[in-house]
């Protein structure tokens, strides 16, 4: 047996920590959150229940849910300085950059930023859950030359976000589709952004720093940014009759097809069927089947050619598009959900902390003589 642990590029297959938050049932290809099948959660719960589950380890009773929802509503405010920051951002700033900066700024207005007790971190997580949709909506409206819309007093996370973006109440099928996507996005093990959050707090830093860094990690197109990239790809393909040829050409050029593939799933992302169902429902409601047909051909071509299946970002992309959500908001919406998972991991990491500090294989020059600056050629 070798003395050193095996090296695995990209940490593929490496067990980098312990968690009680989620697991993939590989036999059934289902994701379980705190022991609950995600499919049951999408069918029977709303996003707030899943966020509560992640933060408290148990699903809420009706009374606990109502209390949680009331606490979220009470936190739907932003410090005026953060609103100014959003107002003053360049109109073409990417909403993920805006969100990363605004979340970081929230850290210095929270009296509990430095309190790393689990209770304080649950309270801060609740504030982030309430405030992130406000940042997304206000930032978007400023970029369009519009004023922010005050939160709706009775809508939940999904409905209120759509309401604050548009200034009008969303249709029930839209609220349901967005809510299901939020449930599906909430938690997914040691993915890159969650691992980032855990690395950050493993130094005994704080939740705001962890979430700020996690937003940065999520933004890239190999991770959360894939939902935006997938929609740009679908738009570039343009129509179902172009789809197969487009994919074949892209594969021949060794291009990555955005919204496909996953480190943890090689036989398909367990979250895709529930989101595809939502996509079909929204398409039927708006009477536009174009994107569903196009996406289906891309999917079938990828499976036939490469045996690579779509991940959650793929059906989310066209479902959000059919709901008229601006493309640059897709990844920020992912953040508005995943923040529950990040916070739960932060609390878990701090509960049994050990500094995360891996080793590396040195591949550079072994040793060479130092030469003073004036003597170097």
Ligand X SMILES: CC(C)(COP(=O)(O)OP(=O)(O)OC[C@H]1O[C@@H](n2cnc3c(N)ncnc32)[C@H](O)[C@@H]1OP(=O)(O)O)[C@@H](O)C(=O)NCCC(=O)NCCS
Q: Residue 287 Cβ, how far from ligand X at the closest point, in Å?
A: 29
Q: Is 276 in the site for ligand X (CB under 6 A)?
A: no
Compute the distance between CA of residue 192 and CA of residue 219 in angstroms, rounded to an integer: 11
Active site positions, annotated: 262, 313
Compute the distance between CA of residue 94 and CA of residue 118 in angstroms, rounded to an integer: 32
Among 149, 285, 308, 356, binds ligand X (CB under 6 A): 308
Among 83, 257, 292, 339, binds ligand X (CB under 6 A): 257
The answer to whether 182 and 46 have CB atoms below 8 angstroms apart is no
Residue with tokens 């036999």, as numbered in its chain:
27
Q: Is 259 in the site for ligand X (CB under 6 A)?
A: yes
Among 262, 271, 276, 345, binds ligand X (CB under 6 A): 262
| CB-based burial label for 169 (10 Å; 0-12, 13-18, 19+) | middle
| Helical pair 290-306 and 313-322, crossing angle rounded to 10 deg | 170
What is the number of alpha carbons within 13 Å of residue 207 lying toward its C-beta?
33
* Interface with ligand X: number of residues (CB under 6 A): 16
Residue with Cβ nearer ligand X (106 or 226) = 226
Q: Is 315 in the site for ligand X (CB under 6 A)?
A: no
Among 263, 277, 280, 290, binds ligand X (CB under 6 A): 263
The answer to whether 135 and 82 have CB atoms below 8 angstroms apart is yes
- Select from 237, 232, 214 the least CA-distant residue to 327: 232
Q: Is 193 in the site for ligand X (CB under 6 A)?
A: no
In this chain, which stretch among 97-105, 305-313, 338-346, 369-377 interacts with ligand X, using CB under 6 A?
305-313
Number of other CB atoms surrounding residue 230 within 10 Å = 28
Q: Is 316 in the site for ligand X (CB under 6 A)?
A: no
In this chain, which stretch among 308-316, 321-329, 350-358, 365-373 interacts with ligand X, using CB under 6 A?
308-316
DSSP per-residue letters across 238-302? -SHHHHHHHHHHHHHTT---TTB--SS-SS--TTHHHHHHHHHHHHHHHT--HHHHHHHHHHHHH
List the x/- string, 208-247, binding to ligand X by CB under 6 A: --------------xx--x---------------------
Residue with Cβ nearer ligand X (91 or 252) = 252
Q: Residue 187 Cβ, how far from ligand X at the closest point, in Å?
A: 13
Q: Residue 312 Cβ, how far from ligand X at the closest point, in Å?
A: 6
Residue with Cβ nearer ligand X (209 or 227) = 227
Q: Is 248 in the site for ligand X (CB under 6 A)?
A: no
Number of other CB atoms surrounding residue 235 within 10 Å = 14
The binding site for ligand X (CB under 6 A) comprises 10, 222-223, 226, 256-263, 306, 308, 311, 313
């Amino acid at each position: 047996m070798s003395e050193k642990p095996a090296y695995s590029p990209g940490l593929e297959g490496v067990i980098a920590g312990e968690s009680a938050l989620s697991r993939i049932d590989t036999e059934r290809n289902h994701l379980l959150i705190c022991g609950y099948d995600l499919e049951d959660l999408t069918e029977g719960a709303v996003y707030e229940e899943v966020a509560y589950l992640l933060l408290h380890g148990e699903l809420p009773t009706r009374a606990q849910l109502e209390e949680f929802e009331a606490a979220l509503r009470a936190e739907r405010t932003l410090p005026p300085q953060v609103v100014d920051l959003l107002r003053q951002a360049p109109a073409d700033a990417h909403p993920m950059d805006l969100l990363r900066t605004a979340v970081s700024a929230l850290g210095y207005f929270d009296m509990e930023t430095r309190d790393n007790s689990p209770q304080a971190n649950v309270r801060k997580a609740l504030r982030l859950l309430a405030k992130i949709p406000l940042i997304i909506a206000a930032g978007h409206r400023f970029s369009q030359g519009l004023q922010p819309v005050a939160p709706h007093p009775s809508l939940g996370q999904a409905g209120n976000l759509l309401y604050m973006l548009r200034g009008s109440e969303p249709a029930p099928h839209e609220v349901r589709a967005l809510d299901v996507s939020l449930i599906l996005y909430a938690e997914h093990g040691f993915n890159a952004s969650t691992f980032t959050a855990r690395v950050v707090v493993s130094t005994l830093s704080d939740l705001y720093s962890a979430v700020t860094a996690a937003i940065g990690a999520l933004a890239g197109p190999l991770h959360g940014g894939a939902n935006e990239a997938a929609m740009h790809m679908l738009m570039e393909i343009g129509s179902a009759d172009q789809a197969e040829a487009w994919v074949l050409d892209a594969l021949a050029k060794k291009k990555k097809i955005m919204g496909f593939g996953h480190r943890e799933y090689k036989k398909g992302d367990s979250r895709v069927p529930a989101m595809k169902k939502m996509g079909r429902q929204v398409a039927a409601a708006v009477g536009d089947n174009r994107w569903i047909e196009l996406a289906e051909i891309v999917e079938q071509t990828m499976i036939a050619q490469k045996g690579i299946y779509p991940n959650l970002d793929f059906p989310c992309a066209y479902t959000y598009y059919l709901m008229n959500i601006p493309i640059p908001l897709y990844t920020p919406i992912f953040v508005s959900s995943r923040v529950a998972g990040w916070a739960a991991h932060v609390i878990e990491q701090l509960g049994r902390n050990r500094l995360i500090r891996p080793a590396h294989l040195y591949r550079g020059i072994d040793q060479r003589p130092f030469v003073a600056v004036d003597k170097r050629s």
